[in-house]
Structures are given as structure tokens and as C-alpha cells.
Structure 1
């Protein structure tokens, strides 16, 4: 006999989940921090037991139309103390107050250069130059900016000559939302400079969320 509880997966054992599209991690660089984070198919969101989860990473390749239809799940998770890190280009309102990504018009490295904004634990000790250039190429970190940010947003990094927001954080209820408008930050974890600090610090920040029992 099937009960309602049978439709919910067992509680996950990692404090952070990385929502991806099936087995395709998209822009993710992979990670060996399996004690902290686990990849989960975004289409299983309805059946996930989030009672022990403190943070979620939304990969940049996730189906945002699907996420928008599950807006209540995501909103409740954050409002009750969880933390969500959004990678890539938010184009739908799958979270309240989520800004919109826009492509940046650029013609050279200075148009894509990253500059530091307000201090934040995720980027502590990270040189913006190391984010601006990866393998001697500019534009890996981001090629766009966010607009229509909530009034409470703190911009943690800017991009380009005009200093447009590329990374920002805002509170939502008891929790927080972090938006990185570019490639999944996990790709930097093995780089031979200060940019390798970003992903471990992101995981640490996410794991400090209060978490919530949504059952």
C-alpha cells in the first residue's frame, strides 16, 4: 500500500544540494567535497525531503520554467532560514525579488573586468584579477549583469567599466539568496590562485543556513 510519505525521498545526508539537469551538471566543474554537497536532479525537487538541508545551489543549466512552477517550495525553504545560491542567468521569477540578467555589450577585457563590491564571506581573500582572467582569458566569470535588484540587495562584485552588478546577496524571510550571474563557481575550485577559495567558501556559507523542515 502506498502512502503520501512514500512519495518523499529519505532525508539527504549532505547539508548542501546542487540542483542540476539530470546527469548533466552543465557549467559545473565537479567537486570532491562529497561530504558537504551532492548533485540532485532538479526534476526531483517535488519529492525531496529538505528537512536536513541548509543550502541549495541552482546550476545555471536548470529549467527555470520548472523552477518558477515550484516557486513556493524554494521560497518556503529560504523564508524559513535556508540559503540558496543561484548560478547563471536568472530570466524567470522563480524566487521573490530575483533580479533579471542582461547580456553585457563588450569589446575587450576591460569590459569584462571584475571589481570588488561589499565584503562577503564567499569572496573573502579573493583577488578580483583572478576572477577577471582564467587561463589568461577574460569573460569566464561572467558576461552579463543583473538589473531590478531588490532594495535590500548587497552587491558583492561588479563587472565592466560601468561597474554593473554581477554578484549580489539579499535577505528573504529568515534566509538569504546569493546570485552569481555567470559560470558555476565550482569550476574555480582547482585554479592555482585566490579564485580557488570561492567555491569552498560558498559551500561553507550555504552550510551555515538554518535549514528547515518542510514536511
Structure 2
């Protein structure tokens, strides 16, 4: 018989492989939770989930009904990393980008969205003097009603996208967690608080 854990205090859960108590997650609106505790956690008061990059997607696929139900009921999920299994309705497919130089990895802003408001794409394109930190792939087979909020490379291929699912919404970012940029000394640091602003909305 499974045991339901006490409801989290924060309205956003960052789902990770183990908990790390990272400084980037210090915002009181967000708690970390180990992925394997998710199915037995009461999500009644949770408004948003961040599925961390590197999460066990086979496990998530086994609990697709839980994730779908959360979003369809009005919740929001931000999927980080390379989506390679169909663990949520509407997920596109991550494709590795064939790149030969910085221009192939350069980020451009697509359709306006509050998460990227005020973010300079140059700050996403180059981090610590290196291109490719933000993403090295693109999204394929995305839903027809998705909005593409960032693009990558000289051909402006879809990268970040957001689509509706029931009464909720899903964000997919094909790279490392956006929360990793929380302490960067430039405009990319805006993404973490703005992501949380978006996730807590109903």
C-alpha cells in the first residue's frame, strides 16, 4: 500500500534525480523532490512542475497518466532536457544538431513569452566564452498549436516551445535546466524567476 507524502509547501516542484538543495533553487516558491517520490506525493496544492534534465524518462512514461492529468486539470509542466520518450501527451522529439561552428548553435528569440522577456539571446548563445551551453539540438514533431519561443542556428530551428494541454500548458526546453542560469551575471538570470512566475499561474 503506497503512502502519500505531506503536501509540499511550495507551489512549484523541481523534479530531480535525488535532491541537491542548490542555491539556484532558493526561491521560496520552489521545492525539490526526488522523481521516485512523485507518484506518492499529494499534488493538490502544486501549480507547476519542473522536470529536470537527466530525469528517468522510462519511469516518467510509466506515470504518463499522472502527468497528463496534472496538466489537463490546469497545471503547468516545464520539461528540461532531451525528450526521447513519449511521457507526456504532445511532446515533440529532440534531435541532435549537426553543428560545425558557433553560428549553428546561436540562439534567437522566437514568439514573445514572459519567461524570456528582457533576455538578450546573446547571453543564451555564449556562456563563459563558449557556445552550446544553452542547447545543442532542436525540437521536431511539435504540436501544431505550439508557440516556438526560441530558435537555434542559422536555420532558426525550433528549440523552446509551449503548447496547451487540456486546461494547462507544457513548456519544453531541449537543454540543461533553465534554473541553472539563476546566478548568471547577465540577462539570462531573468529566466528562473520568470519561469516560476509562469508556473504558478492558473
State the TM-score, normalizing by the size of structure 1. Answer: 0.91
Could you tell me whether the CA contact under 8 Å between 1:29 and 1:186 is conserved in 2?
no
Structure 1 residues 101-116: aligned runs within 5 Å: 101-116=94-109
| 1:7 alignment partner, SS class | coil
Q: 1:57 aligns with which of 45, 50, 63?
A: 50
Q: For residue 197 of structure 1, what is the aligned residue in structure 2? A: 190
Q: Unaligned 5+ residue runs, structure 2?
A: none
Q: 2:3 aligns with which of 7, 12, 15?
A: 7
Q: For residue 31 of structure 1, what is the aligned residue in structure 2? A: 25
- Give every structure 1 segment of 4 or more consecutive aligned residues whose post-TM-superposition deviation is greater than 4 Å: none
Q: 1:178 aligns with which of 159, 171, 187?
A: 171
Structure 1 residue 195 displacement after superposition: 0.6
Q: For residue 138 of structure 2, what is the aligned residue in structure 1? A: 145
- Cα–Cα, structure 1 residues 168 and 29, in superposed 2: closer, same or farther, change >3 Å? farther
Structure 1 residues 46-195: aligned runs within 5 Å: 46-195=39-188
Distance in 2 (alpha carbons) for counterparts of 1:30 and 1:191: 10
Distance in 1 (alpha carbons) for counterparts of 2:134 and 2:168: 25
Distance in 1 (alpha carbons) for counterparts of 2:39 and 2:111: 35
Superposition CA RMSD, Å? 1.4
Distance in 2 (alpha carbons) for counterparts of 1:43 and 1:161: 39
> Larger relative CO (CA 8 A, sep 6+): 1 or 2?
1
Q: Unaligned 5+ residue runs, structure 1?
A: 211-215
| 1:44 alignment partner, SS class | helix
The alignment covers a number of residue pairs equal to 202
Q: 2:12 aligns with which of 1, 10, 16?
A: 16
Structure 1 residue 107 displacement after superposition: 1.0
Distance in 1 (alpha carbons) for counterparts of 2:183 and 2:39: 33
Could you tell me whether the CA contact under 8 Å between 1:29 and 1:184 is conserved in 2?
no
State the TM-score, normalizing by the size of structure 2. Answer: 0.96
Structure 1 residue 186 displacement after superposition: 1.1
